[in-house]
């Protein structure tokens, strides 16, 4: 079975060099092990070897039997920058990804990063990344500097994505109200799934998903709480006229068409998502090389599911391979 890891992260070396130059809102220091540490408003990330050494990364994939990874940037994202800087850094990242993909003989694919502090430029960069660089779509964060993805300012991005039939992978970021999540790593542990859930519900209730039916939406971390809470969203649709203002079907019908990556390694949670959206809408994901991610847990949790071999093969790689084609 071909194994494609849909959810993982990499910092192209040229991007890290640009951050070190001091022209960014991101400050770079070095930890005791020699790893770059990226400091940005409200958080930081340690760029361990797997984040920045592509040859080492390939050896790790070989060790685990992972055939392909679809690379994406990770926090903080280029949208935290002033628009002009965001555009330059996004192009730098995407060109870096494209260079890796060209030289990888199928080991790596990529989704674009977008400078979403400038939606018009983001639409242009998405088109360039898909048409010129051969990407299947983009990874975007669940809110953009506190603005919901369903906000009308992002319409140009969704229009281009719809024209392209692009994949839009929604990855969480610091949610509104993060001040209540400063202790015990509650922001990534609770805030991230919360913000993914909020983003997906808002995109559906606002009619964004309905207006752009060719976009292939994918949610990180098994959709946050979407498979668990979807019945409540449907109840809201029937109970409140505001929830029917922009859509004429219950939310579950739209959300069943989303894809869900498997970065929740609880077999019962995975089974719930499969029961909700179908095995053909689940994507293997590891969150490698983040400390909270795991290639081994990705593989073991999927192996533990009670599935037909055809469904297991679809989750491990078949579904992601179909998305890469961007029909």
pLDDT band at 135 (very low <50, low <70, confident <90, very high): very high
State residue 210's pLDDT score.
98
Question: Mean pLDDT over residues 61-77, rounded?
Answer: 97
CATH of the domain at 94: 3.20.20.140
State residue 327's pLDDT score.
60
What total number of domains does the chain contain? 1
| pLDDT surpasses 80 at 320 | yes
State residue 63's pLDDT score.
98
State the residue range of the domain holding 45: 4-325
State residue 261's pLDDT score.
98
Q: What is the reported pTM?
A: 0.96
Question: Mean pLDDT over residues 310-322, rounded?
Answer: 98
Give me the DSSP letters along 84-141.
HHHHHHHHHHHHHHHHHHHTTTTSEEE-B---TTSHHHHHHHHHHHHHTS---EEEEE
- Interacting residues of 250 by C-beta distance below 8 A, sequence separation 6+: 233, 234, 237, 238
More confident: 71 or 184: 71
| pLDDT surpasses 90 at 98 | yes
Question: Mean pLDDT over residues 142-157, rounded?
Answer: 97
Question: Mean pLDDT over residues 227-245, rounded?
Answer: 98
């Amino acid at each position: 079975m071909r194994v494609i890891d849909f959810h993982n992260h990499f910092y192209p070396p040229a991007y890290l060099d640009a951050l070190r130059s001091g022209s960014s809102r991101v400050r770079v220091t070095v930890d005791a092990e020699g790893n770059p540490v990226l400091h940005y408003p409200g958080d930081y990330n340690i760029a361990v070897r797997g984040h920045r050494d592509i040859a080492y990364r390939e050896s790790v994939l070989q060790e685990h039997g992972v055939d392909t990874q679809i690379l994406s940037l990770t926090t903080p994202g280029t949208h935290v920058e002033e628009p002009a800087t965001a555009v330059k850094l996004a192009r730098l990242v995407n060109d870096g990804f494209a260079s890796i993909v060209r030289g990888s003989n199928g080991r790596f694919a990529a989704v674009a990063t977008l400078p979403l502090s400038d939606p018009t430029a983001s639409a242009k960069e998405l088109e360039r990344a898909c048409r010129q660089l051969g990407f299947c779509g983009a990874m975007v964060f669940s809110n953009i500097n506190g603005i919901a993805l369903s906000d009308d300012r992002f319409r140009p991005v969704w229009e281009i994505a719809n024209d392209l039939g692009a994949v839009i992978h929604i990855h969480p970021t610091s949610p509104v109200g993060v001040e209540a999540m400063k202790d015990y790593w509650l922001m990534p542990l609770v805030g991230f799934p919360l913000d993914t859930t909020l983003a997906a519900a808002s995109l559906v209730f606002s009619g964004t998903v309905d207006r752009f039916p060719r976009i292939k939406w994918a949610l990180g971390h098994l959709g946050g709480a979407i498979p668990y809470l979807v019945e409540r969203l449907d109840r809201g649709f029937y109970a409140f006229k505001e929830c029917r203002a922009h859509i004429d079907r219950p939310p579950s019908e739209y959300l069943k068409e989303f894809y869900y990556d498997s970065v929740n390694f609880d077999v019962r949670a995975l089974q719930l998502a499969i029961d909700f959206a179908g095995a053909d809408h689940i994507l293997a994901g590891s969150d490698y090389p983040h400390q909270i991610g795991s290639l081994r847990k990705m593989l073991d949790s999927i192996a533990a599911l009670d599935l037909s071999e055809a469904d297991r093969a679809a989750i491990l790689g078949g579904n992601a391979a179909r998305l890469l084609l961007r029909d």
